[in-house]
Structure 1
Amino acid sequence: MSSQPQIPILLLKTKSSPHDGYEDYFSTNGYNPTFIPVLEHRFHRDNLATVRDFFASGAFNADTTTTTSTTTSHNGNNEDNGSDKKYGGMIFTSQRAVEAFAEMIEENGLPFTPSKQPPPLPLYTVGPATAHALTTLRNKYLPSATIHGADAGNGQKLAYLMLEHYNGLYPDTTTTNATAKPSLLFLVGEQRRDIIPKTLMDPARPESQRINVDEIVVYETGEMDSFENDFRDAVSKEVHGQQGLGGKGPLWVVVFSPTGCEGMLRVLGMGPFKNQDQDQGSGAHEKQRDVFIATIGPTTRDYLRETFGFEADVCAEKPSPEGIAEGIRRFMDARGD
């Protein structure tokens, strides 16, 4: 009995280690996933050492911090975290931030024993994939921590969730007792949006409801030099029927960030690159099968739309494998496929 042929899906992301939720989901739900890394990540080890120092100094405990370290405020200025600086939780909005934090812990450990861990520490995250990676880390090293925001979907929604949840942990904080509410430590990449700190520290919000956020850059990101060639090779294999459905049926490309969008469109001959360079023999233009584009969320969809005048076929309502698959299903149902 022959099995149903799998639909090829090219995921423009680095495969997460040790497990990738996208591979787990798609490979067991009728797809043949292929990962094409777009981003190159470099961890900032000095800043990660600073994060470790926060744990060593008691910055997450009720005791007064004894170490002086440098973080970056939401407006990009360096701030001195003196002896009275304490943190009541951490924010992670990318898997790379979790991976950077995890590498720091795996290499150096956390400077306390299980009996002297911080009190229940809220860890805020923006989506299920990041929450899953954070859960593995939490279970091993921070068992008293709690994870919130797996279903938030975007930074704006997460910010509102934090305003309700974190302020709820400090109901007696008033304008005369503002220091009773510790800051949140936000582990970020070099390139990031500032919607979370702006929302939490909005001057228009009552002072007792504001939440101070300190950002510390733990990784930087750039496009891999090899991405465009790697993507061209992967597309060419599928278009010429060397894999999957033998060159028939749909080919899906899932985009996870604005980085790499231009190269993707150029290889596929879409958007502003339609009908260009068709004599170069890349194979991407000789479409023996339909190629469709899905984005992980509205940020990347809007970037494609506003920068290249290109409309993605699917925008996932939730940034997850299930969200992408549901968007694809609806799209194909509407086409009658």
Structure 2
Amino acid sequence: MASTTSDIPVLLLKTKSIPADGYQEIFAGWNNYLPTFLPVLEHRFREESLTWLKNITSGRGFSPDTSVAAESSFGGIIFTSQRAVEAFTSIVESLESDTRDELLPEALPLYVVGPATARGLRSLGLKCQIIGEETGNGAALSAFMLDHYNSLPTSQTVRQDRKLPLLFLVGEVRRDIIPKSLQSPDLHQEARIGVHEVVIYETCEMASFHIDFARALADNVASEVKEQWVVVFSPQGCRAMLDCLGWLDEAGRYKSEVTESLPTTTFIATIGPTTRDYLIKEFGYEPHVCAEKPSPEGIYAAIENYRSTNTRTQL
């Protein structure tokens, strides 16, 4: 979708989250920003894992039904990515609406690492507890779960003399902070929490990203907007982004002498220091802003702060 001259295009280098995306909500509602999602990575759900999750859910693996085998039961679910939420969403939506509260009861804790995962789960309208969003990272979430889960009644966490593990829906590439923390040998045996990891999705680079990004840039130039923002969420796609902008020399490093003769001035924002440092180290390019908090609100605040002190006096 092309912008008008009053819009400020924001090119978000990510897949739009479903059923709700915080970046769409915050940028579409304020200051005439026009958000556009340009996926860098392609996520593919594993059908066999989705089938397994559907069977566990419909088989009352999350309900307090004591007749269900402990080996097929879980005391809670851990979410640390939007893709895991999307996979779970597909399972919930496949259930008969009048069975959801029974199969996914109010007492079932859904542990989340931040507001984005929490927002996606809340949009499902389940009665389950959705908790942990203030933790912000895996280590903090682990500490939270150790305290919370171990404080629950044993009637909820123990079945057939077995402490129920937590189900962790993960991607093919993930860190092991949470499983190691919950099962650390430094903990007393009774405090440890079992973690059953299920790889629910795989990730690969989107072959069409370079073309899609170049087309979005061309559309904005054709619309003669004065400024546009590009928000980068991971190291993947950084090279293609800089290449499309014409900011790399033959050695693949940032052209420090770059001057934009086009009517559109491009500004770069990163979700956090990891991506910012990657741009600096690999390409010698320092983005205009880096969000203090890796969230829609953090990115929005960083851009607004930069514009209020820089671009509005220049454009």
Given the two structures, how large is their TM-score scaled by the length of structure 2?
A: 0.81
Select the residue among 44, 59, 62 that pairs with 1:60.
62
3-state SS of paired residue (1:266): helix
Select the residue among 97, 100, 112 that pairs with 1:125.
112
Task: State whether residues 55 and 110 of structure 1, in contact with CA within 8 Å, keep that contact through their aligned partners in structure 2.
Answer: no
- Over 3 Å counting, the alpha-carbon distance change for 1:187 and 1:261 in structure 2 is same
**Residue equivalent to 2:290:** 315
Structure 1 residue 235 corresponds to structure 2 residue 217: yes
Letter in 1 for 2:119: H
Letter in 1 for 2:296: P
Select the residue among 231, 235, 242 that pairs with 1:265.
242
Select the residue among 131, 140, 143 that pairs with 1:148.
131
Deviations 1:216-264 (A, max 9, x none): 01111111111011101112332x3x33xx342x321111233222211
CA separation in 2, counterparts of 1:192 and 1:22? 24
CA separation in 2, counterparts of 1:305 and 1:157? 28
Matches within 5 A, 1:55-94: 55-62=57-64, 63=66, 65-66=68-69, 84=71, 86-94=73-81
Percent identity, aligned pairs only, is: 47
Letter in 1 for 2:307: M
Structure 1 residue 290 corresponds to structure 2 residue 291: no
Deviations 1:68-100 (A, max 9, x none): xxxxxxxxxxxxxxx545311101111211111
Deviations 1:282-306 (A, max 9, x none): xx96554432222223443344345
- Over 3 Å counting, the alpha-carbon distance change for 1:229 and 1:201 in structure 2 is same
Matches within 5 A, 1:168-179: 168-169=151-152
CA separation in 1, counterparts of 2:172 and 2:91? 18
Letter in 1 for 2:275: T
3-state SS of paired residue (1:129): helix
Task: State whether residues 8 and 251 of structure 1, in contact with CA within 8 Å, keep that contact through their aligned partners in structure 2.
Answer: yes
Letter in 1 for 2:29: T
**Residue equivalent to 2:140:** 157
Letter in 2 for 1:101: F
Select the residue among 61, 66, 82 that pairs with 1:95.
82
Structure 1 residue 45 corresponds to structure 2 residue 20: no
CA separation in 2, counterparts of 1:110 and 1:299? 42
Deviations 1:37-81 (A, max 9, x none): 222221111111111222244332342544xxxxxxxxxxxxxxx
- Measure how far apart 1:275 and its partner are: 3.8
- Over 3 Å counting, the alpha-carbon distance change for 1:308 and 1:196 in structure 2 is farther
CA separation in 1, counterparts of 2:41 and 2:56? 29
Structure 1 residue 32 corresponds to structure 2 residue 19: no
Structure 1 residue 183 corresponds to structure 2 residue 176: no
- Measure how far apart 1:34 and its partner are: 1.5
- Measure how far apart 1:326 and its partner are: 0.8
Structure 1 residue 192 corresponds to structure 2 residue 205: no
Select the residue among 267, 281, 300 that pairs with 1:325.
300
- Measure how far apart 1:206 and its partner are: 3.4
CA separation in 2, counterparts of 1:91 and 1:23? 25
Task: State whether residues 233 and 270 of structure 2, in contact with CA within 8 Å, keep that contact through their aligned partners in structure 1.
Answer: yes
- Measure how far apart 1:19 and its partner are: 4.2
CA separation in 1, counterparts of 2:210 and 2:5? 31
Select the residue among 227, 231, 244 that pairs with 1:254.
231
**Residue equivalent to 1:22:** 23
- Measure how far apart 1:155 and its partner are: 2.4
- Over 3 Å counting, the alpha-carbon distance change for 1:206 and 1:314 in structure 2 is farther
**Residue equivalent to 1:166:** 149
Select the residue among 193, 216, 240 that pairs with 1:211.
193
| Structure 1, unaligned runs of 5 or more | 67-82, 279-283
- Over 3 Å counting, the alpha-carbon distance change for 1:116 and 1:196 in structure 2 is closer
CA separation in 1, counterparts of 2:133 and 2:46? 26
CA separation in 1, counterparts of 2:146 and 2:266? 42
> Which 10-residue stretch deviates more, 39-48 or 112-121?
112-121
Given the two structures, how large is their TM-score scaled by the length of structure 1?
A: 0.76
